[in-house]
Amino acid sequence: MRAAAFLKPLDWNISNEKGKLIINPSDYFALNEAAKIVKVRGGEVVAFMIGNKEYAQLLKGLYGATEAILLSDEIFTELDPFSKAEIIVAALKKSKPFDLLIFGEFSHDSSHGLLPYIVAEKLNLPHISKAIRIWNEDSKIVCECVLGNELYIKEARMPVVVSMLDVLAYGKVPVYDFQVKEVKIWDSKFLGIKELQRRLKIIEKREAVRRKNIMIEFSSYEELADKVIELIKLK
């Protein structure tokens, strides 16, 4: 079984106050779910990431993947989900075929939630979305998915694209059975990409809501409780 997991690096300061580089939580959860299947069935998990060369530090030594490929080039900047999908599809064409392509459902920065859908369509693959649990039965991938207030059990024959919600990530231990030893770097020349088309241009960003950010001062828990109750009563 060959699985490809697509990891998005986050270095944006709202998602991480200390500015530490992290992997998008739902992507990391998806990687580990793929690793669990491969651990039982045997095979490989290849982690793909788009970003500059400093992101190799996130991939080197990464648990849950047998191989890591950093898609890095100076033209891979200011990407939107459509240009990212172009890079991913080019990288997949350079790799041996995969049975499972696994993504996080959406990232905490742009929150478009488009990428897995675009890739699935570009590769003409079935797509199981909003999965919270995933397992393998013979040639099929089966998932528990949450769509609104309904829970579905869905299955599709491999190769398949799965996008996962990280709602069950809490308390889960990563798969320590395999680890990335070396990070390969693929550039635009290797991928055969000359130019990338960007369809979404961000003009500006602003805070959605400005909160008051007032600290409640208290000398006893009774006082704190009373102040909280007063705020509730005011509403």
Partner 1 sequence: MRIACFSRYYSTLEKVVKKLSKEKNEKDELNCIAFRYLFDDSAIENLRKYDVNKVVMISNILLMQYDLEAFTNALAEYYKKYGFDLLILGNSLEDKEVAARLSSKLGISAVTNCLSYKIENEKIIVERFHSSGLLIAKIELSTPSILSLYRVEDQDSKLKETPADLEILKIPLSVSRVVIRDKLKLSERYQEIQNSKILICIGENVHEEKELKEIYETAKIIGATVVGDKSCYAREWFKEWIAFSGIQASAKICLSIGTKGDIDYLGALTGTDTVIFLNEEPDTLALKFSDYHAICDIHKLIHVLKKRAKKKFK
Q: Is 40 in the site for partner 1 (CB under 8 A)?
A: no
Looking at the Cβ atoms of 37 and 162, the one nearer to partner 1 is 162
Looking at the Cβ atoms of 170 and 189, the one nearer to partner 1 is 170
Site for partner 1 in 92-131 (CB under 8 A): 105-106, 108-114, 117-122, 126-130
- Sign of the CA dihedral with 101 first, then 105, 109, and 114 last: positive
Site for partner 1 in 72-91 (CB under 8 A): 82, 85
Q: Is 20 in the site for partner 1 (CB under 8 A)?
A: no
- Minimum CB–partner distance for residue 96 and partner 1 (Å): 22
Site for partner 1 in 142-201 (CB under 8 A): 142, 146-157, 165-171, 199-201
- Minimum CB–partner distance for residue 42 and partner 1 (Å): 25
| The two structure tokens encoding residue 47 | 């982690």
**CB environment 184-205: b (16+ within 10 A), e (fewer):** eebebeebebeebeeeeeeeee
